[in-house]
Amino acid sequence: MTLLIVTLPREFPGAATLCEGLLSEDERSVSRAFESPAALLPAPAGAQIVAVVPVGRLSWHRITLPRGALKAGLFQEGGMARLRAVLDGLLEERVLDETSQLHFAIEPQPAANEAVWVAACDRDWLHAWLAALVQAGRPVVRIVPELAPPLGDASGGMSLHVTGMADQARLIVTGPDGVSLLPLSVASAALIAWPEDSPVLAEPGAAALAEHFFNRPATLQTAPERWLAATQSGWDLAQFDLRYTRGTRTRKHLSATLSSLFRAPRWRAARWAALALVAVNLVGLQAWSWKEQSALAAQRAGLRNLLTATFPDIRVVVDPPLQMARGLADLQRRNGAASGADMETMLVNFKASAPGMPAPSAIDFSAGELRLKGLDSSPPAIAAMTAALQPQGYRVRPETDGLLMKEERFR
């Protein structure tokens, strides 16, 4: 899936304000870096747009929420205002601005009854940039911090970054105390006292200075690579008044997933495997269909041969079972044997199926149909007789003044 990552400038948006960012075709490498006004940002079809909030625009606060504050209901639409009020009360003494002027976001998957990280930034600034990107036709689907402290009590997420050029190099440290931004100097390097076995990440313009101050080789990481790495975290600052509805998130997630499945290079093997599986199944279904059609044709040919061999007088075969049944009935009549379509046989079967029913007031037999008048034609009685006569090949139907009984195969 293609990512369009836009790093929000520290100042408020303007027509000539330049935005830095990058394009990534596979979410793992930088395809192209750019710097342009919001209106001229790239707009690849199907790209997912992610906004990166720079380090200097965020403050970090470690707080412990009241018991039960993180229950599932608070993260639904109806509980967001309550949770926001809790954060306002806890952070009121820790921030310089009024809490109403700040946007808050809680760490991903916070643990109940444990300290959590809360990111804070200027609400008007963030809303202004999101609105500017929407106006430019680049609506943001996710907001991530450029760098974030390690979650929980883990120290494995600590990192040291040296950014900028040699004459204006800065230090960014992420650790248990949050994210610190300092100018690179002898004093700041001594203050940090970075462990000797920990790596130092540096932009190319400040790599030599970083190696000099920390006396170790620096790992090169460009700013676009750092922004791309930020999208791999679980953070999403779009919370509270910026929180997407569940339906919108689901649609965007499905759209992004489908786009990735159909376009991302890493899914190419899976796409070919799926196409091969569909092709194999289609061939198998076609072969099975041919086999079943051949078996059905053989059965029909066998019935026709049996009919013409048993009754040579039948020249035209239309419905072999029905023609055979009629031929057998004619043969029984010619030989004086009772058939299932004779009145005597039908009366015997009817009496056996309804032994408690009184005798009919009138009997009418014509062309294999037996009408019995003056009988009970209530639904329960009809259902009982139908269940008893159907296995013998008869059907019973109620009429105005009685019942109609006929052999099913002669219908």
Instruction: Write down the domain spans for the chain.
Output: 3-148+233-263, 153-221, 268-336, 338-410
Sheet holding 402-407, edge to edge: 362-366, 369-373, 402-407, 394-399
Phi, psi of 191 (to 5 degrees): -65, -40
**What is the model's pLDDT at position 409?**
58
Helix, strand and coil percent figures for the chain, each rounded to 5 = 45, 20, 35
**What is the model's pLDDT at position 251?**
61
Dump pLDDT digits (tens) for 112-167.
788 999 999 999 999 999 999 999 989 999 999 999 999 876 556 789 999 999 88
Other CB atoms within 10 Å distance of the CB of residue 31: 14
Cα–Cα distance for residue pair 134/138, rounded to 1 Å: 5
Burial 170-205 (b: 16+ CB within 10 A, else e): bbbbbeeebbbeeebeeebbeebebeeeeebbbbeb
Q: Which CATH class is domain 3-148+233-263?
A: alpha beta
Q: Which of 360, 362, 365, 371 is nearest to 397 (CA)?
A: 371
**Which two structure tokens, joined as six digits, stand for 382?**
């009809």
**What is the model's pLDDT at position 284?**
93
Cα–Cα distance for residue pair 254/324, rounded to 1 Å: 60
Residues 162 and 185: beta-carbon distance below 8 Å = no
- Whole-angstrom CA distances from 263 to 24, 41, 255, 257 are 13, 22, 12, 10
Burial 84-93 (b: 16+ CB within 10 A, else e): beebeebbee
DSSP reduced 3-state for 335: coil
**What is the model's pLDDT at position 224?**
96
Give the chain's residues under pLDDT 50.
72-75, 245-247, 249, 410-411
Cα–Cα distance for residue pair 112/129, rounded to 1 Å: 33
Cα–Cα distance for residue pair 160/147, rounded to 1 Å: 10
Kindly provide the residue ranges of all beta strands, DSSP E only, lying in 201-346, ordered along the sequence. 201-202, 219-220
Cα–Cα distance for residue pair 169/348, rounded to 1 Å: 109
